[in-house]
Chains A and B, each alone.
Chain A
Amino acid sequence: MRRPSWLLRLFLGLPMIYLLAMIGVPIVYNLAMSVQEVTLGNIAAFARPFVGLDNFTDSLADPIFRRVLHNSVVFVLVNVAGQVGIGTIAAACFAGGFPGASTMRGLLLAAWILPGLVVGTVWKWMFATQFGVVNFVLSALGLIGTPVHWLSDPATSMTALNIAHIWFGIPFSMILVAAALTNIPGELYEAASLDGAGPLRRFRYITLPAIAPALFAVACLVAIASLRAFDVIFALTQGGPLNSTNVLPLLSYQASFQDFEFGRGAAIGSFAFVMVFGVALVYVRTLKSEQPA
């Protein structure tokens, strides 16, 4: 066996240094901050009062934090189900091919190209109680009697946010699933048709098993993106009313840059990091198992 050459070491070393400097250092620095009392007065210094796990225990004791943690979990689960589910159905429909399918698919992508702040602002108009198009359509269809206070009622605001964010994310899932669909050999469908399988059964017994690993990977990516969601929420509600749409990244931002409590902000960020890291680990494992043996 040949010993690794210096060139190999160099090419391995450079990305390692990059990863350590650009990702490792900030993570360690954030963890260090989360066990310190960091104020505007000492933020430039390295030696800051050590407070142990106070920032974490204070956060866990805070009802707002617990509510936001709960929101984050709900938000991620609903978004994964919604985005991947609808994205898969859309991809399957487009794969069927119909006149104008590729144009339609291109148009759908437009949603994904928009900046999150624009998406949030547009949905805020659409969800307006008296003048919003959502209530207008729902009441025209006779589905609601009185207008729904989508964004000004803590009971419905999370649903509104989920709808907006799922709409925003569908094209991403759709594209990845569409790519996976093209890998399924057409003969399988032909054979199944000859055996008398309808479209639903073909989808259930051929399509789904074939794209399952891809679906899982997409689900992980959507989960990570949802855990990092910030701009849509910032434009839509800024976490309100009553923190009913607040999530960990936004709460961390508010603690650091509105309350100037950087230690607490770092602790909240660490909770979010652990969640993202967990999903990322699962994602990396699925990528490995996807590779041909």
Chain B
Amino acid sequence: MHRRSLLKSAAALATLAVSRARAAEPKKIALWHIYARDFDMIHLGIKLFNEANNGYVIEPRLIPYVQINPELIRAIATDSPPDLVVINDPDIAGYSSQGQFLDLTDRVAKSARINASSFYKGPSTSDHWRGRRYAVAREMNALSLYINDDLFRAKGLDPEKPPATWAQVLAAAEKLTDPARRVFGFGFCAHQSEQSTFQFLPWLWQAGGGIDRLDQPEATAALQFWTDLVRNGFVSRDVINQQQSEVINTFLAGNTAFAVGGPWELPRFATEAKFQWRVAPLPVKDDKKIEASSLGGFHFAIPKGAKEVDGAFMVIEQMLDASIFPQGWNTGGILAPRSDIEIPSPNWPQAYKVFRTQMITATQRGPHPQWASLSKPLQQAIQEALTGSMKPAQALAAAAAKIKPVLAKTPL
């Protein structure tokens, strides 16, 4: 009897101790992200947030880039979503249009730390669906041209005056192509995936076209331009099966004289580029003069059913603080989605200037809930044309026919 009551009081004491400890313990915010490199600015943001002792602590979970959608869908299907997740630009609308992300419009409007009007137009458009905001951009990127100065000079071209029009791109690509030295003049990505859509859209827009008008002559002009570059051997035919990073691999190896790429490639330039290089804005089509680039980047969203919504939003505020973006650019080539942030004495200053200016003309994909259903027919058309199995106009007409019913159901 005596022993039993002793046990009881011990148990009671233990329960008390546990509940006390719980009261003092900060609430956990489950954050799913894709940033494996420990110098990514998200880790700085997590550190700053966790050190602030604000009653919350971030529990990050790293998910490989290609697994973030499957993992999130699995979590939604089993009703166990994280409190905060990073999501790729074109995927946002799929979730927000189906009510799977919380409406953040009012929270952002009331926030003392986020000024919605400071965002660039592209990322802000991606965050919205039918007038309401469901995500907040974490970063942004756009495509520009990487130039190998040494190869340009070797062929008598002036890298100070990089190709600025389509005609100049074609001329430079032809001049720089040197089969004996295994150098291709130019490079872009035409991989069968979202990456080729991302890389082709700037040319489509520069020609005055759009993904909703692929059967128009503007679209044909853009795809014809790409096709001619490949068919003439100025661009390697292997770009059909190269991802963006692999195209930049060939640039860094000195086998491609200039190539389309994003700022996320910059961190490896320091060790891998054995030549002088620079960044130049994407060209314009000679008769249209439309400046355009593709917008990419990841965004923060709070899934429906998140437990710590207030805490998750505090994390978003922390991650958009000006203090973490210098690390974002200087280590990872990441640009702030806020136009009011300019990094003092940035790494790669010339590239920073060009990419930051390119942001102004960078346009988002969609937003559209079935973006993949618009993007995949375009990917196929690109590959049909580049492999020569169809003429550009014919391939694009087929793509337009597939896109039409999707847009009839849900317009852009």
**Contacts from A to B (Cβ < 8 Å):** 39-41, 43-44, 124, 128-131, 149, 151-154, 157, 237-243, 253, 256-260, 262
Contacts and interface: CB of A to CB of B under 8 A. Distances in A.
B364 interface: no
B84 to A, nearest CB: 18
26 contacts: A40-B73, A41-B98, A43-B73, A43-B76, A43-B77, A128-B238, A130-B238, A131-B255, A151-B238, A151-B241, A152-B237, A152-B387, A154-B387, A237-B192, A240-B241, A241-B240, A241-B383, A242-B383, A243-B380, A253-B70, A256-B70, A256-B73, A257-B73, A258-B194, A260-B73, A260-B94
Contacts of A256: 70, 73
Interface residues of B, number: 34
Contacts of B76: 40, 43-44
B296 to A, nearest CB: 16
Interface string B368-412: 011011001000100110010100000000000000000000000
A106 to B, nearest CB: 32
A260 B383 contact: no
A40 B100 contact: yes
B79 A44 contact: yes
Contacts of B70: 253, 256-257
Interface in B267-318: none
A124 B238 CA distance: 11
Interface string B213-238: 00000000000000000000000111
Contacts of B182: 130-131
Nearest to B390: A242
B191 A240 contact: yes
A79 to B, nearest CB: 21
B372 A258 contact: yes
Contacts of A157: 241
Contacts of B99: 41
Given A40-B98, A152-B241, A242-B383, 17 more contacts: A40-B94, A41-B99, A41-B100, A43-B77, A44-B77, A129-B237, A130-B182, A130-B238, A151-B241, A152-B237, A153-B387, A237-B192, A237-B241, A242-B192, A243-B192, A258-B69, A262-B73
A262 B383 CA distance: 26
B372 A152 contact: no
B5 interface: no
Contacts of A253: 70
Nearest to A152: B240
Contacts of A129: 236-238
Given A44-B79, A152-B240, A240 B94 contact: no
B255 A257 contact: no
A33 to B, nearest CB: 10
Nearest to B237: A152
Contacts of B79: 44
Contacts of A258: 69, 194, 372
B193 interface: yes
B9 interface: no
A241 B241 CA distance: 7
